[in-house]
Amino acid sequence: MSKRVLVSGGAGFIGSHVTVELIQSGYEVVVADDMSNCDMTCFEGVKKITGREDIPFIKMNFCDLDAVNKLFSEFQIDAVIHFAAFKAVGESVSEPVKYYSNNLSSFLNVIEAAKTHGGCNVLFSSSATVYGEPDKLPVTEESPRQPATSPYGNTKQICEDILRDSVKAYARFGNEVTPGVHKDGCIKGIALRYFNPIGAHPSALIGELPRGVPNNLVPFITQTAIGKRECLSIFGNDYPTPDGTCQRDYIDIVDLAKAHVYAVSRMLDGKMEKDYEIFNIGTGR
């Protein structure tokens, strides 16, 4: 029987591409999203690409623990990929409470539900922002985390810590060394720290379609190209680069989606070397 993966925030930019790759790799997928930063366009595109009209979709907020528990009760979940979080760096600076409340609560609820319903593999959508202002480039998984430069980055660091500590505590459940707990309540986890995803699916049926003002470069480029914006503004002139503008490590969205599938397979196929692992996803340039 095919393994089932829950994709929280699965109707968004990254989540929709990951859902496509999971289905095309033979997994059953449940998509859940509160639709706060997207509409159904991407999810409809996912159904067209995969030829699957029967993909379960639940509109819900992961900050609602009762709703999360209900979801885990209705479906046998083998792995969770958690994307459901606010992600605008600038907004997180002006509205930190909004980011801490949403991003931490939603992830804590996923961990709690996974533990309550017999254990689960958890893949956390982290970010290279956890490295803060690194002392040396390029960063590797062994590079130390520096103080976060934004509340958004700090929520990623905290969620990584939540996953690490939960794995340390609940990985014991499967060994029956803790009296009175679920025998199968083991949680294992992977955090993927990725850099700057760009692009769209080759079918052009899904891509980055943010509500309101975009938070990433590519939507500004495409909106300028089609005349929605008069010009493309480039900010910054004092970076240590040849022309003084900022440089970023960009990764194609489909490559990033495939990396999530590899990580899920690593967990479900028992190939993890440790119960909690971290991987950078980027080009290293």
Q: Are 115 and 182 in contact (CB under 8 A)?
A: yes
| pLDDT of 176 strictly over 50 | no
Predicted pLDDT of residue 131: 96
* pLDDT tens per residue across span 161-170: 999 999 999 8
Mean pLDDT, all residues of the chain: 89
Q: How far apart are the first and last CA of the chain?
A: 40
Provide the 10 A C-beta neighbour count for residue 22. 26
For the ranges 145-154, 234-243, 271-280, the lowest mean pLDDT is seen at: 234-243
Annotated active-site residue 152? The verdict is yes
pLDDT band at 179 (very low <50, low <70, confident <90, very high): very low
What is the percent of the chain where pLDDT is above 90? 68
Q: How far apart (Å, rounded) are the C-alpha atoms in residues 254 and 198? A: 9
Residues 6+ positions from 62 with CB-CB distance below 8 Å? 8, 32, 34, 68, 84, 105, 106, 107, 109, 110
In order of their start, the domains of the chain are 4-213+251-281 (3.40.50.720)
* pLDDT tens per residue across span 52-97: 999 999 999 999 999 999 999 999 999 999 999 999 999 999 999 9
Amino acid at 172: R
Predicted pLDDT of residue 180: 36
What is the percent of the chain where pLDDT is above 70? 87
pTM recorded for the entire structure:
0.89
Q: How far is CA 278 from CA 116, 124, 132, 143, 187, in A?
A: 24, 10, 16, 11, 15
Predicted pLDDT of residue 212: 62
Q: How far apart (Å, rounded) are the C-alpha atoms in residues 231 and 220? A: 9
Predicted pLDDT of residue 228: 72
Predicted pLDDT of residue 191: 99
- Give the pLDDT mean for 111-123: 93
Predicted pLDDT of residue 49: 98
Q: How far apart (Å, rounded) are the C-alpha atoms in residues 72 and 60? A: 13
Predicted pLDDT of residue 231: 80
The strand pair at 187-194 and 120-127 is best described as: parallel
* pLDDT tens per residue across span 232-255: 777 777 767 777 766 676 788 999
pLDDT band at 229 (very low <50, low <70, confident <90, very high): confident
Q: How far is CA 107 from CA 8, 9, 101, 156, in A?
A: 10, 12, 10, 10
Predicted pLDDT of residue 172: 62
**Number of residues assigned to the chain:** 285
Which residue in 27, 152, 170, 194 is the catalytic one? 152
For the ranges 45-49, 187-191, 240-244, 250-254, the lowest mean pLDDT is seen at: 240-244
